[in-house]
Amino acid sequence: YLTEIFIVLISYVLGSIPFALIIGKLGYRVDVREHGSGNLGTTNTFRVLGKRAGTLVLLGDMGKGLVAALLPLLFGSDMSLLLAGIPAIIGHSYPVFAKFKGGKSVATSAGVLLAAFPWFFLVVVTTFVVTLLVSKMVSLSSMAASVVGLVTVIAYGIIARDWLPLIVIVPLALFIIIKHRSNWQRIRSGTEPKVPLFQKRK
């Protein structure tokens, strides 16, 4: 199992790359952990540094999940792509390069799902986008996508008798929901910030 252990390690290291920190510090001399929600992720980068930086972080954070999940193909292993992506998700939330304090793993999980489970990726991204258009809250959209993903993967597991996605994605969805507990408090008290979608430029 040497190859698989190697894949797990590389996946974790890839996931640990803190793009929000790197792009913020190198491009803008700003530590996004000291602004906005303080979260080291795509949403907070959009919030603090704007569209260009946010888009780069989204691509970086999704990209590292995607690449991590594809590692078994690269190394000729028959390890499941979904399993190979999990260490990257853990790395994003607990990065070795940023004192183990990372983000909420929404974008990185999306990258893993895109590579490992494309139809399921479409289900959760559609849920995310529809919720975002209606509520304008990224956190609520992430939680809605997690809940719909949870129900979908349980139904799929039972119908297709394919247990691996269920075993991996149920804890992942719960993990993402738990990571959003401070957002949930803010949503309930009406203080969660909204995204200025389709705002006209002046």
- Segment 91-130, which members bind ligand G3P (CB under 6 A)? 104, 106
Each as own residue / partner, the long-range contacts of residues 120-123 (CB below 8 Å, 24 or more positions apart, any chain) are 120/149, 120/152, 120/153, 120/156, 120/165, 120/169, 123/148, 123/149, 123/152
Q: How far is the CB of 48 from ligand G3P (least distance, A)?
A: 9
Q: How far is the CB of 142 from ligand G3P (least distance, A)?
A: 4
Of 44, 108, 109, 146, which lies in the binding site for ligand G3P, with binding defined by CB under 6 A?
44
Task: List the Cα angle 102/168/113 in 5-degree steps.
Answer: 70
Residue 117 identity (one-letter amino acid): F
What secondary structure letter does DSSP report for 41?
S
Q: How far is the CB of 124 from ligand G3P (least distance, A)?
A: 13
Shorter beta-carbon distance to ligand G3P: residue 64 or 104: 104
Sketch the per residue contact string, 169 through 188, with ligand G3P: x for CB under 6 A, - otherwise: --------------x-----
Shorter beta-carbon distance to ligand G3P: residue 72 or 102: 102
Window of 40-48, 72-80, 86-94, 144-152 that interacts with ligand G3P by CB under 6 A: 40-48
28's tokens = 């803008």
Of 195, 39, 48, 183, which Cα lies nearest the Cα of 104? 39
Shorter beta-carbon distance to ligand G3P: residue 127 or 183: 183
Q: How far is the CB of 77 from ligand G3P (least distance, A)?
A: 30
Of 42, 108, 131, 152, which lies in the binding site for ligand G3P, with binding defined by CB under 6 A?
42
Residue 62 identity (one-letter amino acid): M
Task: Give me the sign of the Cα torsion angle 89, 178, 136, 53.
Answer: negative
Of 132, 145, 140, which Cα lies nearest the Cα of 196? 132
Of 7, 48, 82, 138, which lies in the binding site for ligand G3P, with binding defined by CB under 6 A?
138
